[in-house]
A and B are shown apart, each in its own frame.
Chain A
């Protein structure tokens, strides 16, 4: 039996096949085929089947689960190629989607970008004013429909949108519809009569949360991407079923959960690839018995970080997509513009790296495709970290001379007496420090200490930098998973069936235990049904509970786990205690405002089927020291300078192989840089487990930081 994961990315389509009997997953990679994504999907599946010695039909027929993440939704949004959408709003409020709360002009921009007012704009509207109709109706904050829906007006409005404005999809965003969806539901019925075949996206269905702008934007974007997504899903399901798949393929959502085809909310699949990557890291946490992991992904333009604790990832409530704030629950991934393509430049006496990127075209100077600016990849190449003949599995031959010339143009003469090597080393140091800053910020913001974590490094450029940014963040352990270059595909496959369901409510503890209890059991009933449809027997269904809680009248909430089982006063008390502790941990003891009381605004469940049980991978023992295939000169740091460094062929390394740094381990698609002083071991699952052995300087300062905290804590207590 197999679990199959597929990730359709912008550049590559990946597959990972996990066998229930254990052993290493089978991995496959092929270029993505944007015209018809299915082509790339079939290529990788056939490749994977061939590796297993199977016909494609036999592999698919033996699959319990096929789950995939995809860039289809993001692609429609970025290329602005969605459906022609019309919108219905409450009379008097049709402009909310255009006003964008005023923040639409700068949403998603960095502080530096926001400060250049002149260059900022709202995005061109997805729904222009002429395709927005206002209807008479009003629900108030209690959920009471104080003015009934004007059905005659609504009917006329829909007719006009369809006939005069030729809309292809309809969205509705009425005030307070999440409290009382009656009018939106009625609009759908009227639309079905007036415009059969036009898909309808209701704000109350895409999100059950307060905030008409975000809800409406979510409904509009959902309508915009729906057509493309549905066409794609139908095609995929038909093709795979025809090829032998027994169950419908599931799709990864932005929150890392899966959805069966009938329940897909298209906009909730945006960024599903990165979400699946984090799910992959979470899966590893079980295999490796690591409770605290930082998933780090270095691509061409961005560096992404997500925390995984006890196998769980954080969720962000909303996100910004092409400057629209939308209520799409997302795996909490934070990112900065730092990656292989980040450009080094002179800024009036300052040496800067990024956030501008050379992208894939023209790409770094060493691609030889016309790029002239020196990038991080150029630095890696110049310093010997990268092998010019082994980049992206040999797909692109790198030109070290071009990289050198790029540095010699400005950065080297301006800052390093013309020394291109020193310039490259400086650029590497700056970008690694920026990545470490993001790791530090992400962990500290959540009240955690980075030193308690191990880093999972994936993405093409991650393993080449991981040891450096880990050391700078004070982290001693780095793990480069066997699936480093296809972690999203692995994550889609390996987590098993998992659905995430949410419900909005307002409860002021200690009151409201009954409401919460009812809310959770309703969600669990719904989740149970979904699991049943996915073939999960009752005994194997599991549910996790969560709630969003805050000090009363506060705006932001914390998400804390909720105990399972029957609801009692003690379970609520436990949650309140957890919240107070978590709050104090994140924001400091005296910042809690206990006088205000607390408020619970939302609850979630994760409905989980059995994943293939993670096979614990024991901490490896070094049993052999492989001999390197060859050596080359690598520049490790200003201190160490150039050093003749052994080069290992990654796929050939057996379990138990131990390697002392300095060393380079080359895989098809990625390169692990093991600095002097670090040691790597290959474990039974093929993961490369690295101990840095030293984190110079940082530990002392953290000890001091702790002592400051302890002092103030002492003074706090009478």
Chain B
């Protein structure tokens, strides 16, 4: 095909995916979708190959092909797949990620021929089941988790099946789900109209050619990208705390092997199915792998099937991110899936670091987990509501190799993250917020700092029945999931607190201003398990949470002193972190005391080594060497410290001779899991630092658990 026509048609297909998303959001009424942008769209080939995806949640787009596959498998003969049909599905065992993500998919017939499939997916406010809001905290099998719709024909030859629609509506607590499903149908119409116009203008054959050609194009580009990167093996180990029943810890293990133009993601070793809702089915695993890969490696490409064509995923069914029926999985997105993304992020970032040309694309982990406090009851307007607190979509951005991460910059799986205004929340729901501000010290320290997260607190307000109910589904309270690169430290972990008998409501009734910091709220402060089932949310109770911050990049004692001082004066970090972690010293006028800072930093190196460090200023580059991170050289098969020249290991065991320092995670700052260690009476995670035995430069910092395998990496010689 001539390149001009290809470009013209391709532009239009991308626009169709985009327009579908815009229309979905315009018509929906759900804050989760409209404000949180928690939805996705896709254009697919007749054989389900992903051609183009719309904006918003990348993970949800990735599973639309799986849903089409299930639809074809189960519906082709009976009831049949025909022009004008639309199918609805939210079954995680048929391709959805979790129950709350309801998708509709539709075949597009042009001139009687199946030309494409379209899909729209979105996170619904409620999906029935034992708990409002879609997260069934106490479930032990998926049948308790609410509506689980296999592919079902909801529109038959252009006509809405009112019986099916009514059946869906019968199962859900919030009638707004009806508006949202209709918004999805509207988006399918827009996409169908667009494809018809496109085929009419350029012909079916040209349309088909561009759809498959675009996949080939992306695959070609992605293989080129992979060939630029070094071969090697990267092992990541990440954790999920609490399964809804007990504070058990689950592990996701990944060994990423990169050879030439191929990536193999091997999850062997991952914990078996959890008893509770944190699992993800195969769909979530694939969605997570692709999402992490897109963002770190395919940042300048259209995201479609071409990328998946270069990837192999190895995983055993019956594990926490590939669960076996009937394991519960209603919380998959914000437990097993996001933690799977973390493993992909960590491994791919280290692969990028090893490449001279692409090192700058590496990012430390963004806010590494996700959470959903859910409040329900009767609103001040008199109707039943389910509200999912989504402020954590303003998570921190991971530190970059030459810049700090973005404070409250988003959540990694959403290309267009957005959180609600306080006024929007209070207008719809009977709540009053006390504060929502950045959380001090939440960004992982480093040469470049991880982006900050935030904290908030609220109480019931003008609730007609006097109280509400709330449940909580979060991951990453006992430990941070955002792990740094090149010696950068992890970001904050989640903390969920309840303050009972606070008297705040009473004080407000008297016209008194409530406190705007957690520690100033009077009453009984209690750390709540990161997942807990529905409980009453009474008057004078204040609920508080903060979410995870992002991770840092590089040794924090190499951060520019002026940047540390700026963070201190703007309230980004505490003086403890400035002094103890960054080694900052100020003069009497509040400016940087260069000499004292240098001295303090030298002290920190001494402490790390338990002896006198070599100069870290030796930057003489050995001939024939290449950098494999900003701080490491590979020279004649030997890995050496780029600061002092000390030999650390070889390509297959790069940090073998690094000095290891084990310590508590609070060595990275406050709110790193200590509240949960206190709650459970056990410190199950620790920080392992690897420092250069020569100069004491911190090269790698990991959050690990006793008895769990260690993460690591190695480079292979190119054949």
Contacts and interface: CB of A to CB of B under 8 A. Distances in A.
B295 interface: yes
B438 A348 contact: no
Interface in B176-202: 176, 178-179, 182-183, 185-186, 189-190, 193-194, 196-197, 199-201
A105 B397 CA distance: 10
B437 A120 contact: no
A505 interface: no
A434 B35 contact: no
Tell which of A99, A591, A702 has the most Cβ of chain B within 10 Å: A591
A137 interface: yes
B422 interface: yes
A350 B185 contact: no
Nearest to B404: A121
Contacts of B617: none
A106 B422 contact: no
A118 B380 CA distance: 42
B513 A115 contact: no
Contact of A352 (B7, B25, B175, B363): B7
A399 to B, nearest CB: 25
Given A117-B397, A147-B512, A591-B27, A101 B419 contact: yes
A554 B158 contact: no
Contact of A441 (B19, B300, B421, B438): B19
A23 interface: no
A209 to B, nearest CB: 9
Contact of A348 (B10, B29, B183, B221): B221
Given A93-B435, A348-B217, A175 B417 contact: no
B299 A101 contact: no
Contacts of A129: 570-571
B84 A102 contact: no
Given A103-B418, A130-B570, A212-B421, A441 B175 contact: no
B418 to A, nearest CB: 4
Tell which of A440, A444, A588 has the most Cβ of chain B within 10 Å: A588
A219 to B, nearest CB: 14
B157 interface: yes
A114 interface: yes
Given A92-B435, A99-B454, A176-B423, A111 B55 contact: yes
Interface string B392-403: 011101001001
Interface string A545-566: 0000001011110000000000
Interface in B441-476: 454, 461-462
Contacts of A142: 462
B4 A705 contact: no
Contacts of B410: 102-103, 105-106
A348 B224 contact: yes
Interface stretch (A158-166, A270-278, A651-659, A693-701): A693-701
A418 B437 CA distance: 59
Contacts of B160: 590
Given A348-B217, A352-B7, A137 B513 contact: yes
Interface stretch (A234-242, A279-287, A709-717): A709-717
Given A591-B186, A591-B189, A213 B406 contact: no
A350 B201 contact: no
Tell which of A102, A119, A441, A697 has the most Cβ of chain B within 10 Å: A102
Contact of B421 (A95, A105, A211, A556): A211
A635 interface: no
A129 B11 CA distance: 42
Given A128-B570, A351-B7, A712-B158, A138 B426 contact: no
Contacts of A532: none
B185 A591 contact: yes
A701 B200 contact: yes
A117 B437 contact: no
A99 B571 CA distance: 14
Contacts of A104: 409
Contact of A114 (B4, B55, B175, B200): B55
B309 interface: no
A395 interface: no
A115 B25 contact: no
A148 interface: yes
Nearest to B517: A92
Contact of A148 (B11, B29, B436, B511): B511
Contacts of B4: 351, 426, 429-430
Given A98-B407, A352-B7, A92 B196 contact: no
A702 B224 contact: no
A553 B416 contact: no
Tell which of A116, A118, A136, A441 has the most Cβ of chain B within 10 Å: A118
B84 A715 contact: yes
B433 interface: yes
B294 A210 contact: no
B7 A588 contact: no
B28 A555 contact: yes
A232 interface: no
Contact of A350 (B7, B427, B433): B7
Nearest to A352: B7
Contacts of A426: 2-4
A577 to B, nearest CB: 19
B686 interface: no
A619 interface: no
A99 B417 CA distance: 12
Contacts of A152: none
A288 B600 CA distance: 78
A437 interface: yes
B141 to A, nearest CB: 33
Nearest to A121: B406
B438 A349 contact: no
B513 A150 contact: yes
B22 interface: yes
B516 interface: yes
Given A105-B397, A555-B29, A92 B55 contact: no
B565 to A, nearest CB: 12
Nearest to B437: A95
Interface stretch (A253-261, A401-409, A592-600, A624-632): A592-600
A384 interface: no
B15 interface: yes
Contact of B508 (A147, A708, A716): A147
A93 B461 CA distance: 18
Contacts of A700: 200
A112 B299 CA distance: 8
Contacts of A119: 299
Nearest to A429: B4
Tell which of A141, A445, A702 has the most Cβ of chain B within 10 Å: A141
A146 B423 contact: no
B299 A134 contact: no
B418 A102 contact: yes
A350 B220 CA distance: 11
Contact of A705 (B27, B193, B220): B193
A574 interface: no
A437 B434 contact: no
Given A106-B410, A426-B2, A444-B19, 10 more contacts: A93-B422, A95-B436, A111-B54, A118-B360, A121-B406, A134-B516, A587-B23, A590-B182, A591-B27, A712-B158
18 contacts: A92-B434, A98-B407, A103-B418, A106-B415, A116-B300, A121-B409, A138-B513, A138-B514, A147-B512, A148-B511, A210-B427, A211-B423, A426-B4, A433-B8, A445-B22, A551-B29, A556-B26, A705-B193
Closest CB pairs A-B (n = 10): A701-B200, A92-B435, A102-B394, A712-B158, A92-B516, A591-B186, A136-B513, A351-B3, A433-B8, A555-B34
Interface of A: 91-96, 98-106, 111-112, 114-122, 128-130, 134, 136-138, 140-142, 146-148, 150, 175-176, 210-214, 348-353, 415, 426, 429-430, 433-434, 437, 440-441, 444-445, 551, 553-556, 587-588, 590-593, 595-596, 697-698, 700-702, 704-705, 708, 711-712, 715-716
